[in-house]
Structure 1
Amino acid sequence: MPDPALLDAVEVFAAHPSVLVATDFDGALAPLVLDPADSRPLEGGMEALTALADLPRTTVALVSGRDLAALRELSGAAEPLVLVGSHGAEDSRRPDGLVLSQEQRDLLATLETDLREVTEAHPGSRIEDKPAGRVLHTRGIDPQVGAAALDAAAALGERHTALVVTPGKEVVELAVAHVGKGTALVALAEELGVDAVFYAGDDVTDEQGFEALAQDPDAARAARRLTVRVGDGETAAQFRVADEPGLVGVLRAVLQARARSSAGG
């Protein structure tokens, strides 16, 4: 069962006239796995989000470092859920998709070559392709080899200063186009004109989201935020759950509270 204080906060959040319910995917809705292509959401999480999206004045979004196509396929999400991929650089509501300049495409090709050298020097490390960048994965390999590979990949950001380097749990992403989850969350909340935002996540990039929501220029909306860290580690979130099943429990509580509020209002 979620923390009683968190459940109380859910009731308060759900009672606001219009809300945005957003969450990360990997490590939040879906347990972390060795091969990113094998990631799947836990039972109950997507079902709760889909039901929430059907309620009045309730927008639901998945906000992920995954590219949009992979996020859609692995999550199984469909409209009216909003998908924000590539750390905010892609948005399912924008049919034009992500458009890179020639300079960005050239840099991406150079990055591909440089990262291949990193994987050759650090056996077991792997590259994930994204429309605007590449991700080096080291999960499952010798920790010392993995740490050296991540350091080598991160150093490419010093060589190519136009790259945005985003570290995570046994991964580092290098992108030629990057918005950031925090910026994307606040912009989405502003665009929708919602009264309050819920956000949950487990990683460094989600911490940026928690911090951005706390510093939202709309001070009233910032005060009404509800943020939840999944797992251990220092956090700027207001609450914490132990693991992905714990978040599913919170999402179900949000759904129940929001449904009651909608029925009563």
Structure 2
Amino acid sequence: MGAETGGHTGRAPFPPIGDLVTRSWTPGTTDAALSAIAATPRLVVALDFDGTASPFVLDPMAARAIPEVAAQMERLSAMPDTVVAYVSGRSMHDLREITEHTDESPFALAGSHGAQYWYPGSGESDVESAAAEEDGTKEELWEAARPIIDRFDGAELEPKTFGMGVHTRAATPEVERELFAEIDALVAERFPHWRRRKGHHVLEFSSRLEGKDAAMTALRERYDATGILFAGDDVTDEDAMRVLVDGDLGVRVGEGETAAGLRVRNPQEIAQLLEALADERAARRE
């Protein structure tokens, strides 16, 4: 996927994860890659939500961006030739709720891992794509999964537009392992072609095959971006990191193997990085 994207844009994709050196970014310091993305003519700033803009909370629908991130995203959205977006595995309905997104918002949204979009000025836009519903419908998956999930303390089913998520934020590691094994067995037997994703205390299945790499392509083409800054904290965000190209910047939040160029520790440091980006972008345009 990275090679195809690089060929389309004429710019080289980032090297494979094992070949990339990820630098830890220290708030208050300068970084050449951050300076370069601040200077790009047409910038898209795209953030994952859970664990990146927001800390993890036990109730997934209670998640909100920390005020410092929200303030810097608003600030960036007001700058010329700068687009801000949230890119999430959440369904569009839920993503709009947790981002407190209104019809007048200047923020773009990519939900369901790049299968749903909302653009300022035009509203919601679904993407036509192949699905794997020959195995069954999402309602059939929910019906089969719910009795399994209900047996496990601290587990929760999240119905999604194209599938489901199984959350274990309030469960013990032992419960998570046993539950995920049973759900995996169910899906392997009855929904074998659905896409599986495992993140921080969540197991997801979707009849749609898009990943966050698709969202990077859509945002780049929609806004003719000369640079994308994408930040995320989880395995699913690496789909997006791997298709970033020369002139882009990936930022990993927290630990884990990554194709990102920079690493920060938490949402608070994402806010500080966005502030540094906004300061430098504003100074270059004075």
Q: TM-score, normalised by structure 1?
A: 0.88
For residue 151 of structure 1, report the CA deviation from its aligned partner: 2.1
For residue 239 of structure 1, report the CA deviation from its aligned partner: 0.8
For residue 2 of structure 1, report the CA deviation from its aligned partner: 2.1
Question: Which AA in structure 1 matches 2:193?
Answer: A
Alignment of 1:1-265 (within 5 A): 1-2=26-27, 4=29, 7-78=31-102, 79-93=105-119, 95=124, 97=126, 103=133, 106-159=136-189, 160-213=191-244, 222-263=245-286
* Higher relative contact order (Cα pairs below 8 Å, separated by 6+ residues): 2
1:229 counterpart SS class: strand
Residues 223-255 of structure 1 show CA distances to partners (whole Å, capped at 9, x for unaligned) of 111111001111111110011101110011111
1:32 counterpart SS class: coil
Number of residue pairs aligned between Structure 1 and Structure 2? 254
The answer on whether the counterparts of 2:72 and 2:275 sit within 8 Å (CA) in structure 1 is yes
Q: Could you say if the C-alpha distance between residues 136 and 118 of structure 1 is closer, same or farther in structure 2, counting changes exceeding 3 Å? A: same
Q: Could you say if the C-alpha distance between residues 153 and 99 of structure 1 is closer, same or farther in structure 2, counting changes exceeding 3 Å? A: farther
2: distance between equivalents of 1:230 and 1:128? Answer: 24
2:67 counterpart SS class: coil
Q: Could you say if the C-alpha distance between residues 9 and 17 of structure 1 is closer, same or farther in structure 2, counting changes exceeding 3 Å? A: same
For residue 148 of structure 1, report the CA deviation from its aligned partner: 1.2
* Greater mean deviation of Cα atoms: 74-83 or 54-63: 74-83
Identical amino acids, percent of aligned pairs: 33
1:61 counterpart SS class: strand
Runs of 4+ residues over 6 Å off in structure 1:
98-102
Partner residue in 1 for 2:3: none
2: distance between equivalents of 1:212 and 1:156? Answer: 32
For residue 96 of structure 1, report the CA deviation from its aligned partner: 5.2
Root-mean-square deviation (Å): 2.2
For residue 162 of structure 1, report the CA deviation from its aligned partner: 2.9
1: distance between equivalents of 2:157 and 2:171? Answer: 14
1:227 counterpart SS class: strand
For residue 67 of structure 1, report the CA deviation from its aligned partner: 1.3
Residues 29-74 of structure 1 show CA distances to partners (whole Å, capped at 9, x for unaligned) of 1000111011111111112112211211111110001111221221
